[in-house]
Chain A
Amino acid sequence: MKHLSALALGLALALPATVVLAEDTTLVIGRSASTNALDPGFLREAATIVDNIFDTLVMRDENMDLVPGLATEWTSVDDTTWEFKLREGVTFHNGEAFDANAVKFTLDRVLNPDNKAPTISYIRTIDSVEVVDATTVRIHTQGADPLLPTRMSRYPAYIVPPQYIADHGRDHFANNPVGTGAYKFVDFIPDERVTLAANETYWRGAPQIDTVIWRPIPDNTARITSLITGEVDLIEDVPVDLVPLLQNAPDADLVQVKNGGLIVYLGLRMDKAPLDNKLVRKALNHAINRKGITENLLGGLATPAGTQVGVADFGYLDLPVPAYDPDLSRKLLAEAGFEDGFEITMQSSYRYMKNAEVAQAIAQQFEDIGLTVDQEVMEWSVYTQTVPFEGPIYMLGWGSTQTLDADAAVYAIFKSGEPYSGAVVPELDILLEESRQTVDPAAREQLLFQVQELANEEVPLISLYQEDKLLGKGVDVDFGGRPDARIPVFEISKD
């Protein structure tokens, strides 16, 4: 028995004590994913946490308008040059001064091919970064890049401290990040928590929440329970089936960010028969009852979409949702020479809201117009290997998250030859390229409208609906969610 109690004591001692934080306002945030590392230049995950430690040159306010961040103003000097004036008197958490060199260092570090940055594509249009003086930076782009200010508002463009990284190395930095942001890094215990403390000398003012603890809680039920019981104050990723649990809880609220999620669509391999036939694609487009799916299956937590561009995105064209008209679909199929339908494979995974149920419903609706659908539902890590190579129909979600620009919403899935694109429409390629070369916002918006109109006519893929972004929060937390999916704790307060 002595041995047993010794063992029990040993077990108890092996568990580290929990952090005790008295009197401070603490916000505990439950996330579904674990954090791997905190170097904003080399993220392989959403930038939710680092967004609170670091700042970008350009920021977005609650209305998603671009506003000054570490840059006070920016102008397009010529077609391929953007000039940023930098904020003075800002320092990193370690006291290092923020200046033009930090900007150049930040971008060069990601652009250097030797560093194998996973998100280099987000800033690949940059040719070089020129330090004009301590508070002026010029960014030269390879061609015209109208989106450069937007690119400077998201990762990997969070400004990092050159001296600190030179002194301590990248590995140390990834686990002990230092930025200019509203929160300072305190500790990071993998799979357990990331703790941040308020930066009292933040250039936008001292934050209201003193301490933020990010806890990864992968299981949906456990995550929602921890919110309802008050163990955490805010949670990400509320699954549709558990929404009622949250709505019935007296101490917790559902935060529904309308159109804050991805636009779910059916990708089509346009190079494969019979999807190379426009009539067939149109037939499929009209065979789907989007309203029925979003209202009945998804409980109104998604909105039928007529375009791949999000409602909040620059360049959004309010196209009507394709009518649900099985008769028209059958007619179009007959016109295309498929009176008796055909057999086709539709692939999907478990990623989006009620993914498998939605795929099942769509397969049924395709069968209603005479098709024989072979459904393949795959585990996500396998699915990402096959999409878009197999198909010929595959379900995916896409969005412009964080750029809030039509380009990010459509380029990668409309342009032929892109890794996630099954589309082959030469006119679309031309328009997409042209939009990337046009700096003037009005002209660019027109081009993006044309892209969507042409897509509406050619149906390179079938847009289904845009998901809402669902979060949960304690009733004492003041946060309405943001369309760009960020959780800026600086803007959150707690009673």
Chain B
Amino acid sequence: MKGFRFLLSRAVQGVIVMFGVSLLVFFALFLTGDPAALMMAPDSTVAEIDAFREAMGFNDPILVQYGRFLAGVVQGDFGNSLRYQRPALDLLSERLTATGVLALSALLWSSLLGFALGAIAAVRKNKPIDFAIRVISLLGQAVPVFWLALMMIILFSLNLRWLPSSGYGTFQQLIMPSVALGAYYLSAITRLVRASLIETLGENYIRTARAKGLTQWRIVVRHAMRNAMIPVVTLQGMYLASLLGGALVTEIIFAWPGIGRLAVEAIQNRDFPVVQAVVLFAAMVFVIANFLVDVAYTWLNPRIRL
């Protein structure tokens, strides 16, 4: 019952957040002006642009426009994309697979490698290998995604000719975008796993395990890792959602047909309905990911009871 109340309160909070985001995204876009002039041919007359503006409903009072927007959103209707003349939600869902493949693959490899590197660094604390891992992960967090992406294109496509420079459809085409997107997370996860594990390894129960004569790796894998994972899971929940942000840059550079690229092109062209749909979608992913993190906590640490 307590658990159910917790779920309910979380759901209500989620709805409030989504409502807040809808307000923000609508009014922020409204403040930047209307897209009528941009949508029309360059030699359109003022009268033609006005007629178009009126037809699109950009002349109605802002609250009327917001009400119309909200009523649509509740029914899953974000309106038609101004550029594509198709429902914004369709455009988004068409690109969900591409972004999903990219984000999940990035999260997958960066998590696995991050755990391994973090564990090695923690166990070999202050040894040369720990130092090397720390330097690499610091670099990984310092290097911007776009720079890494371009360097990879120049090295692996232009010079070595190992991988296709862009596009979607084959495993080879997935490698560079996935590496570019995951690099930052790899570093973050490595550092966090290392720090968390070092702390855990100093706990009393670990000393007990050692006293029992367990091997170092058995202690790390069986006893320490589970507790060390709590902050890492929080991080990953956040990352899954913010991978969408990283996808903006990665998808543009590698011509990946996903949501990030849709968002950037929509912003550049003032395609309001699409921008709104993408932002609300990202907010929804955030809310859901946070919710899942809360659930995962209780599983990982029985002390945190709902």
Q: Check if B165 sits within 8 Å of A229, measured CB to CB.
A: yes
Smallest Cβ-Cβ distance to A34: which chain B residue = B265
A95 at the interface (CB under 8 A from B): no
Q: Check if A222 sits within 8 Å of B166, measured CB to CB.
A: yes
Please, which residues of chain A bring their CB within 8 A of the CB of B32? 382, 385
* B256-279 to A contact mask, C-beta < 8 Å, 1/0: 011001100101111000000000
A192 at the interface (CB under 8 A from B): yes
* B30-72 to A contact mask, C-beta < 8 Å, 1/0: 0011000111111111101101100100000000000000000
Q: Which of A15, A116, A218, A408 contacts B52 (CB 8 A)?
A: A116
Query: Closest CB of chain A to B199's CB: distance in Å?
Result: 28
Q: Check if B165 sits within 8 Å of A380, measured CB to CB.
A: no
Q: Check if A191 sits within 8 Å of B261, measured CB to CB.
A: yes
Q: Which of A4, A44, A191 contacts B95 (CB 8 A)?
A: A191
Please, which residues of chain B bring their CB within 8 A of the CB of A287? none
Q: Which of B40, B158, B171, B257 contacts A225 (CB 8 A)?
A: B158
B97 at the interface (CB under 8 A from A): yes
Q: Check if B41 sits within 8 Å of A118, measured CB to CB.
A: yes
Q: Check if A216 sits within 8 Å of B255, measured CB to CB.
A: yes
A440 at the interface (CB under 8 A from B): no
Knowing A15-B170, A222-B166, say if A190 contacts B94 (CB, 8 Å). yes
Q: Tell me which of A289-297, A321-329, A412-420 binds B.
A: A412-420
* B147-171 to A contact mask, C-beta < 8 Å, 1/0: 0001001100110010011111111
Query: Closest CB of chain B to A94's CB: distance in Å?
Result: 22
Taken together as a complex, chains A and B put the C-alpha atoms of A174 and B80 apart, in Å, by 14
A6 at the interface (CB under 8 A from B): no
Taken together as a complex, chains A and B put the C-alpha atoms of A119 and B253 apart, in Å, by 31
Query: Closest CB of chain A to B59's CB: distance in Å?
Result: 14
Query: Closest CB of chain B to A438's CB: distance in Å?
Result: 19
Q: Check if B104 sits within 8 Å of A11, measured CB to CB.
A: yes
Please, which residues of chain B bring their CB within 8 A of the CB of A229? 157-158, 161, 164-165
Taken together as a complex, chains A and B put the C-alpha atoms of A118 and B41 apart, in Å, by 6
Q: Which of B33, B55, B161, B255 contacts A385 (CB 8 A)?
A: B33
Taken together as a complex, chains A and B put the C-alpha atoms of A17 and B45 apart, in Å, by 47
Q: Which of A34, A174, A192 contacts B168 (CB 8 A)?
A: A192
- Give the number of A-B contacts (CB < 8 Å): 154
Q: Check if B270 sits within 8 Å of A219, measured CB to CB.
A: no
Q: Which of B45, B174, B252 contacts A121 (CB 8 A)?
A: B45
Smallest Cβ-Cβ distance to B48: which chain A residue = A121
Query: Closest CB of chain A to B49's CB: distance in Å?
Result: 6
Q: Check if A218 sits within 8 Å of B158, measured CB to CB.
A: no
Q: Check if B268 sits within 8 Å of A381, measured CB to CB.
A: yes
Give the contacts of A207-233 with B (CB-CB under 8 A): 215-219, 221-223, 225-226, 228-229, 231
A75 at the interface (CB under 8 A from B): no
Q: Check if A15 sits within 8 Å of B174, measured CB to CB.
A: yes
Q: Chain A, interface size: which category?
A: 35 or more
Q: Check if B166 sits within 8 Å of A217, measured CB to CB.
A: yes
A21 at the interface (CB under 8 A from B): no
Q: Which of A124, A191, A222 contacts B153 (CB 8 A)?
A: A222
Query: Closest CB of chain A to B85's CB: distance in Å?
Result: 6
A434 at the interface (CB under 8 A from B): no
Give the contacts of A181-200 with B (CB-CB under 8 A): 189-192
Q: Which of A17, A36, A219 contacts B252 (CB 8 A)?
A: A219
Knowing A7-B108, A44-B83, A382-B32, say if A221 contacts B41 (CB, 8 Å). no
B105 at the interface (CB under 8 A from A): yes
Query: Closest CB of chain B to A110's CB: distance in Å?
Result: 11
Knowing A118-B39, A121-B44, A221-B150, say if A419 contacts B49 (CB, 8 Å). yes
* B86-101 to A contact mask, C-beta < 8 Å, 1/0: 1000010011010011
Taken together as a complex, chains A and B put the C-alpha atoms of A73 and B164 apart, in Å, by 48
Please, which residues of chain B bring their CB within 8 A of the CB of A120? 41, 44, 48
Q: Check if A218 sits within 8 Å of B255, measured CB to CB.
A: yes
A158 at the interface (CB under 8 A from B): no
Please, which residues of chain A bring their CB within 8 A of the CB of B268? 380-381
* Chain A residues at the B interface, C-beta cutoff of 8 Å: 4, 7, 11-12, 14-18, 34, 36-37, 42, 44, 113, 116, 118-122, 124, 171, 174, 189-192, 215-219, 221-223, 225-226, 228-229, 231, 380-382, 384-385, 398, 408, 411-412, 417-420
* Chain B residues at the A interface, C-beta cutoff of 8 Å: 32-33, 37-46, 48-49, 51-52, 55, 81-86, 91, 94-95, 97, 100-101, 104-105, 108, 112, 150, 153-154, 157-158, 161, 164-171, 173-174, 252-255, 257-258, 261-262, 265, 267-270
In the complex, given contacts A216-B255, A382-B32, what are 14 additional A-B residue pairs having Cβ atoms less than 8 angstroms apart? A14-B100, A14-B101, A36-B83, A121-B43, A124-B48, A215-B255, A218-B252, A226-B164, A229-B161, A229-B165, A384-B37, A385-B38, A419-B44, A420-B42
